[in-house]
Structure 1
């Protein structure tokens, strides 16, 4: 009921698996999006195939090189592997939308968004700018290194664009805050007070409930829940505006969001 549905590609950060974004993915799915999360090899922690064999994450950059050399290798990997993966997944979604008996005409290719965290914040930004099927992109605390993107800074994303980041990264424009930029009329930069790099995932929600290092009453769960809910609500509002034509009262409230 309610189809055809807009599509959201959800891209994981380095050294984790897509399941660490379950809260965000389920929230988007419950709001009427078809959410598809790729597992990028060898950037993910582990990939398990249907036949049971596993591929674990491994460095795809020269580990003993200087940071600029590493950055160039990482940037090349982002473009040739991660962005290519995302576009391949979108190609396959187009195929099943056209031919699969169940999915036929249930997807809306013209309403596709992409979300990326950490390393795949770079992926989301590049894919959004390069693939005409992607309408809007979300970069969640995207990681960058000297030498990435050919040292061209900032990289302009010519699409509606949301950048969620920690205060630490927002204050360090040389490596994070302005690596990518959107067009002034439809880009948003949001620094989340008190958040760290993994606050945008389910990590702290899980640790605060099940880790032996965290006391149940130290407020960690409440803080993790607050950041998770904020992330989900802002991402949903942004995608709702550009994929569904809905209003975005919080994002468009200038007192809360720096749109410069």
Structure 2
């Protein structure tokens, strides 16, 4: 097994949000004890009109339902914020995406202006990209505020994004799952990404992004697991902390995560038996589970050039995790994918005029991710047979079944 320092270097090399390939990351440091200065939309101004205008659109969901959306704010009074204790109890922002009646509600914004400004500041986006807080916040998501919910109860799936990525970078997966009958909770892990707008309207920037090589990622994954368990508590106890909590089937809960969010998925399943199925999308395991810790369904979905058995690097960790997993499990790789093929980044980057370096088109990466993750939860949470998971498909020649 590789040393902890090598594992840190691996994840820091792949976990960085990249709307432009040459963007440098900034942050305030893990040891911050006072809240970093807050990002406001007014902090980003254009010195001159950009030569092009960015108009982002995420892939439309394919299921029979529309995707409704609510944003909720929760505070865990039982613990201080792990990264900025002086800010008080842990505050979280969660986007709830749910099966809705088509033709109801109004188009939901991709993010707040403060969140959009945080991304542009953190990534030092050049004016030539044409991306402004306004048009980034206005990316078409195919989700609808105030949409009328479908009747009945639906499995809950929690999503956790990559290191430094705000929760919105898994929006296309969230809307797809909602369109197929899932309630989805996109959890924003405060102070761990470019900015999550909190209940008071403030959008604090990342407090742990400055020196990723110094981070204890086992601790970060464990903290995310506590975030997720708290969110599940709030959504499933009593009437729930969300106005539509009655939609949730409390007995069918899954989780999926990208990169560090994948590590958090495994960590959550170890700590919380309520999570009955998990998906790791191209993430190293922090820590690697041991035999007997996860005996519930688990899907490992990653790049072919990074997660093919025997390929070295992260594959050593994936093989250890694979051997430790009990119950139903699948190990799939995607030929031509890069680390961000499993989230929204590559799609938006291409629309901003920055071609993807991956042989796999960004749209195809999202399509494969949504299709296989949905099939996995259909089979494990809904009990619906998903032949897609039985073996290679001529419709998806890029997807390789490793185990």
TM-score after normalising by structure 1 = 0.82
- Runs of 5+ consecutive residues of structure 2 not aligned to the other structure: 1-149, 394-398
Cα drift, residue 179 of structure 1: 4.8
Answer yes or no: is the 8 Å Cα contact 2:170–2:344 preserved in 1.
yes
In the TM superposition, residue 254 of structure 1 has moved relative to its aligned partner by 6.1
Rounded Cα–Cα distance in structure 2 between residues aligned with 1:153 and 1:58: 31
| Matched positions, count | 244
Aligned match of 2:162 = 13
Q: Does 1:138 align with 2:275?
A: no
The equivalent of 2:303 in structure 1 is 166
Q: 1:77 aligns with which of 209, 213, 220?
A: 220
Output the CA distance in 2 between the equivalents of 1:231 and 1:136: 16
Cα offset for 1:222?
A: 7.7
Which of 332, 338, 348 lines up with 1:190 in the alignment? Answer: 332
State the Cα RMSD in Å: 2.9
Which string of whole-angstrom CA distances, capped at 9 and with x for unpartnered residues, describes residues 157-213 of structure 1?
A: 2110001111222123455433522646510011110011111111111111222x3
Q: Secondary structure at the match of 2:188?
A: coil
Give the SS at the match of 1:36.
strand
Give the one of 380, 394, 402 matched to 1:242: 380
1:192 and 1:85 mapped to 2: Cα distance?
A: 30
Change (3 A) 1:245 1:153: closer
Tell me by how many angstroms 1:9 deviates. Answer: 0.2
Q: Which has the higher helix share?
A: 1
- Partners in 2 of 1:51 and 1:34 — Cα distance? 26
**5+ unaligned residues in a row in structure 1: which ranges?**
none
Q: Structure 1 pair 207/155, CA: closer, same or farther in 2 (3 Å)?
A: farther
* Distance in 2 separating the partners of 1:122 and 1:58: 20
Residues 38 and 219 of structure 1, relative CA distance in 2, 3 Å threshold: closer
CA distance in 1, matches of 2:334, 2:186: 24
Between Structure 1 and Structure 2, whose CA radius of gyration is higher?
Answer: 2
Looking at structure 2, the residues matched to 152 and 36 of structure 1 have their Cα atoms a distance apart, in angstroms, of 24
TM-score, with length taken from structure 2: 0.55
